[in-house]
Amino acid sequence: MSKIMAEYLWLDGSMPTAQLRSKTKIIEGTVTRLEDIPEWGFDGSSTQQASGHFSDCLLRPVYYVLDPIRKEGSLLVMCEVLNPDGSVHASNGRARLREVAGEYVNQDPWFGIEQEYTLFKNNWPAGWPAGGFPAPQGDYYCGVGTNMVTARPLVEAHMKACLDAGLKFCGINAEVMLGQWEFQIGPLPPLQMADELWLARWLLLRLGEDSGYSVSFSPKPMPGDWNGAGAHTNFSTKEMRAPGGIKVIEEACRVLGLNHDKHISVYGAGNDQRLTGKHETCAITQFRFGVSDRGASIRIPMATANSGAGYLEDRRPAANADPYQVCAALLKTVCGRW
Ligand code: ADP
Ligand code: MN
Ligand code: MN
Ligand code: MN
């Protein structure tokens, strides 16, 4: 009988930003579908998900891919956290997205997230002189060459790992601040996009260990005249993608403007440090949408405006936003007219 190393991943109860946790279970047998992966448990008192005297939480596998690091049939298993009686745990945002997404499947929503992040080494941004500062930003975005970009081996290894895992990974680029990079996932239906983004984040954190980089999803890792890090969320429905869909996109933007505060409340902690109105953002207290406008809250991409159909880009979510919550908010507002 074969033995499979299955890494179970879940989100903990850390506030205000949940963190990834994972542990390994050896499964004896074969896994050809989700139902072959057993439920499991963990000590919720060590993850801010339970008190010490009643500490067990349940892990229910909900999505799995091949583990590109261990290979040889090993698995990465995304899980939902449940209470011992099988009810949904308070920290389980995926269950809420599952519910909301279920209501709007007929609109065939697609999501794609651009995940920006900052690499640190020895508690200082990667590629920066120790305790000092590199040349001002301006040349680093999509740069090439030593002193222009940094940590490319890790970034490449991460991309290959995501592709080997079968994730719908669609690109990478070096970002405006030295040490900052971006990868993109999508387009996919909401639950799958969010699961794959969490898996891709885990792979990045995990691969960073091998070369001593730590990954920061802080919305504003360095104060001052340095770009923050976001998680631009691209979104479309069947109607938006069909001829004349631009009208539906503009209407969606108007409804999003009416619900700005609700969205900001789930778009990541510390986002006020990033959404200042500078560095390609719109101030957190304002809402604006526009074609090709990288200083707007919502950008309608040029290709969408030109062809009269496509998708919108919500530029507000921070790099540390939880995609389960971001997708649920967009579905409720746009598909459900919140
Ligand atoms: P930007 O020009 O803002 O840097 P990127 O190329 O980095 O854009 O990212 C584009 C994102 O849009 C990707 O995550 C991709 O999956 C997503 N995307 C593309 N088409 C659609 C669509 N029809 N609906 C939703 N998301 C989409
Ligand atoms: Mn991008
Ligand atoms: Mn970017
Ligand atoms: Mn973008």
Instruction: Give the model confidence (pLDDT) of 171-185 as tens digits.
Output: 999 999 999 999 999
Indicate which atom in ligand 1 lies nearest the CA of residue 187: 16
Tokens of 59: 């892990």
Ligand 3 geometric centre to CA of 274 (Å): 13
Instruction: Give the model confidence (pLDDT) of 226-240 as tens digits.
Output: 999 999 999 999 999
pLDDT confidence tier of residue 338, bands split at 50, 70 and 90: low
Ligand 4 geometric centre to CA of 50 (Å): 38
Instruction: Give the model confidence (pLDDT) of 63-84 as tens digits.
Output: 999 999 999 999 999 999 999 9
Q: Which residues line ligand 1 (CB under 6 A)?
A: 110-114, 170-171, 184, 186-187, 232, 234-236, 241, 310-311, 313
**Is the pLDDT confidence value at 1 over 80?**
no
Indicate which atom in ligand 1 lies nearest the CA of residue 241: 23
Q: Which of 110, 234, 235 to mutate to test the pocket of ligand 1 (most atoms within 8 A of CB)?
A: 234
pTM above 0.85, yes or no: yes
Ligand 2 geometric centre to CA of 9 (Å): 26
Q: Which of 184, 248, 297, 326 to mutate to test the pocket of ligand 1 (most atoms within 8 A of CB)?
A: 184
- Rounded to the nearest integer, the mean pLDDT of the chain is 96
> In the chain, what are the domains?
3-91 (3.10.20.70), 102-335 (3.30.590.10)
Residues 6+ apart with CB under 8 A from 94: 11, 62, 80, 191, 194, 195, 324
